[in-house]
């Protein structure tokens, strides 16, 4: 059945273009995203090998796919060589995520009225907490690091539902106007929590996202397509042809019975929304908010491109080279770790064990036993592996010191400034990531308050919806110095609530 895309004609989305975007996404984008996820997660995958005892299935890490064939394929029935995988990508990505989302984050309103400012900050805090709090920010940072970008979808269906609008008319519009201290301590908090519950956030990872961009401005999204397959509660039973082919043994290991899936396509624009399941239209309605509820967040900005720069892709080539050299060293150690002996003109030499006190007696004057093998130093190999690790440090801006690995004495790193200089690379990248996420959080809050204002639940002006995002420093800081800096900021005229927020205190406590 063809897609019914007449509501999206104004943005230029046609059926042929939609099918092209989906096919291109499946053929090009999804395999690349799967590769990025595999290099981060490095899950074990079944692989068939021939080790001289016949073909059998073994489990190998996903990063084996990046090794040369001389290490992964057997020759003339011989066993494949030893494989060593050291996933340097995962711990670097997780360290970055810990630096970005490991501390507290505060959203400070720029509203003029203290009551409105306090209410907006409470709502922003409730909105994050309802969607996972710190875990939400950590997941957002992780997906952005792997894929280069992540999108947030603000679901407004519950807020615009007739049932909610009848029972919660002007939920927050009278906040702070009654002057009743008791009600301002209890009822507003409940109302803010209720408003946050009515605006759930859905994190859209890159493999599900197909943005339809303005041809004249790559930063403007005309329509947004969410494409994925989900499992159903039924099972696909094998047909007669599948069972017949299976008996031939060609597809050994492939399960006959599989859980059924449904292909879901959801299309959103500022005016309309549709949902298809297996190309069958199951929902068709207007977008009551009048805005496209998508917030796009890049990991690291890339000029003139919608997609951001991820942290996994630049490390893949170095990771493959490191795994190759580690595997080569493992095979060399296996061959050379034990000494071997060549016996010439010694009767029964191959039948007797070699060990301490063992003697061979022969009357042949030409008899000879030669010793060879044994592990030998390889300075060039060790230097190459060390250089690869340094290259990974440079490409990722994450050194072992950032993860808490100290190979030498701390020495001059005892001061905060010295530690900051040593971690300058990861701190600079952390600031860039936080700025990108902070812009997304600002846009998300602006959009949420606009929707609440549109429904009459929380009346605000456009200027009241602006905010600042304050992050906790990722480095341990001297509390005395922090207090001294706070006093200096107070003398400079910085607002008291901003200073308290930077110190981690709540102005209402």
| 159-205 pLDDT per residue, tens | 887 555 544 455 554 444 443 433 434 456 777 888 888 899 999 99
Mapping DSSP onto H, E and C, the string for 419-466 reads HHHHCHHHHHHHHHHHHHHHHHHHHHHHHHHHHHHHHCCCCCCHHHHC
The rounded distance, in Å, linking the Cα atoms of 399 and 422 is 9
Are 10 and 271 within 8 A, CB to CB? yes
Structure tokens at 301: 């900005």
Q: How high is the pLDDT of residue 314?
A: 95
DSSP state of 315: G
Q: Which of 109, 10, 103, 12 is nearest to 446 (CA)?
A: 109
Residue 509 has pLDDT above 50, yes or no: no
In this structure, are residues 130 and 196 in contact, taking their beta carbons and an 8 Å threshold? yes
pTM: 0.83
Mean pLDDT, the chain, rounded, equals 84
Task: Give the full edge-to-edge strand order of the sheet including 280-286.
Answer: 209-214, 217-236, 258-268, 272-277, 280-286
Cα pseudo-dihedral 36, 42, 44, 45, rounded to 10: 20
Structure tokens at 332: 């060399």
**Could you give the CA distance from residue 318 to residue 392 in angstroms, rounded to a whole number?**
7
What is d(CA 274, CA 281) in angstroms, rounded to the nearest whole number? 7
Which residues are bridge partners to 186 per DSSP? none
What's the mean pLDDT in 355-367?
79
Whether residue 416 has pLDDT greater than 70 = no
**Do 137 and 150 meet the contact criterion of CB atoms below 8 Å apart?**
no
Spatial distance between the Cα atoms of 431 and 434, rounded to a whole number of angstroms = 5
pLDDT of residue 239: 66
- Where helices occur in 262-407 by DSSP H, the ranges are 316-336, 379-396
Q: Tens of pLDDT along 296-317?
A: 999 999 899 999 999 999 999 9
Strand (E) or helix (H) holding 344: strand 339-344
When pLDDT is averaged across residues 473-494 and rounded to a whole number, the result is: 80
- Say whether 380 sits in a helix, a strand or coil: helix
Q: For the range 236-239, what are the long-range contacts, defined as Cβ-Cβ under 8 Å and sequence gap of 24 or more?
A: 236/260
Q: Percent of the chain scored above 90 by pLDDT?
A: 50
pLDDT, average across residues 401-421: 66
Which residues are CB-neighbours of 265 under 8 A, at least 6 positions away?
A: 3, 22, 225, 226, 227, 275, 276, 279
478 band by pLDDT with thresholds 50, 70 and 90? low
Q: What is the DSSP letter of 278?
A: T
Tokens standing for residue 86: 């050291």
pLDDT band at 48 (very low <50, low <70, confident <90, very high): confident
Q: Which of 67-71, 120-124, 219-223, 499-503 has the lowest mean pLDDT?
A: 499-503
Candidates 398, 423, 382, 394; CA nearest to 318 is 394
């Amino acid at each position: 059945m063809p897609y019914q895309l007449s509501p999206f004609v104004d943005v230029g989305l046609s059926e042929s273009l939609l099918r092209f975007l989906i096919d291109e996404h499946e053929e090009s984008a999804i395999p690349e995203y799967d590769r990025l996820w595999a290099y981060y997660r490095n899950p074990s995958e079944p692989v068939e090998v021939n080790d001289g005892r016949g073909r059998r299935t073994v489990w190998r890490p996903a990063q084996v796919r990046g090794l040369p064939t001389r290490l992964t394929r057997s020759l003339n029935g011989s066993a494949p060589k030893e494989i060593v995988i050291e996933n340097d990508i995962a711990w670097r990505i997780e360290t970055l995520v810990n630096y970005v989302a490991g501390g507290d984050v505060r959203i400070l309103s720029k509203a003029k009225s203290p009551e409105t400012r306090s209410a907006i900050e409470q709502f922003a805090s409730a909105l994050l907490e309802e969607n996972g709090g710190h875990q939400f920010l950590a997941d957002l940072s992780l997906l952005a690091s792997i894929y280069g970008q992540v999108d947030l979808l603000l679901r407004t269906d519950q807020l615009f539902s007739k049932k909610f609008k009848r029972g919660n008319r002007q939920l927050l519009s009278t906040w702070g106007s009654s002057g009743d201290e008791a009600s301002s301590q209890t009822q507003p908090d409940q109302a803010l929590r209720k408003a946050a519950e009515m605006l759930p956030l859905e994190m859209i990872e890159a493999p599900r996202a197909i943005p339809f961009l303005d041809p004249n401005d790559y930063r403007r999204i005309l329509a947004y397509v969410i494409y994925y397959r989900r499992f159903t509660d039924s099972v696909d039973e094998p047909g007669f042809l599948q069972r017949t082919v299976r008996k031939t043994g060609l597809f050994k290991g492939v399960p006959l019975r599989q859980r059924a899936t449904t292909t879901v396509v959801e299309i959103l624009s500022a005016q309309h929304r549709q949902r298809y399941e297996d190309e069958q239209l199951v929902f068709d309605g207007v977008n009551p908010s009048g805005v496209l509820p998508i917030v796009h967040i890049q990991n690291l900005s890339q000029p003139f491109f919608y997609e951001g720069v991820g942290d996994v892709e630049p490390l893949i080539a170095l990771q493959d080279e490191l795994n190759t050299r580690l595997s080569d060293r493992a095979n060399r150690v296996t061959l050379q770790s034990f000494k071997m002996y060549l016996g010439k003109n010694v009767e029964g030499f191959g039948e007797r064990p070699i060990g301490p006190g063992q003697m061979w007696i022969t009357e042949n004057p030409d008899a000879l036993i030669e010793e060879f093998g044994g592990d030998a130093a390889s300075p060039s190999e060790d230097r190459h592996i060390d250089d690869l690790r340094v290259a990974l440090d440079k490409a990722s801006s994450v050194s072992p010191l950032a993860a808490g690995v100290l190979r030498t004495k701390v020495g001059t790193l005892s001061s905060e400034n010295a530690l900051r200089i040593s971690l300058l690379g990861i701190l600079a990248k952390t600031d860039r990531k936080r700025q990108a996420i902070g812009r997304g959080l600002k846009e998300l809050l602006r959009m949420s308050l606009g929707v609440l204002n549109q429904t009459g639940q929380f009346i605000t002006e456009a200027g009241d919806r602006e905010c600042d995002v304050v992050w906790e420093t990722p480095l341990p800081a001297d509390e005395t110095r922090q207090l001294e800096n706070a006093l200096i900021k107070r003398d400079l005229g910085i607002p008291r609530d901003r200073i308290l927020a930077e110190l981690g205190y709540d102005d209402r406590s």
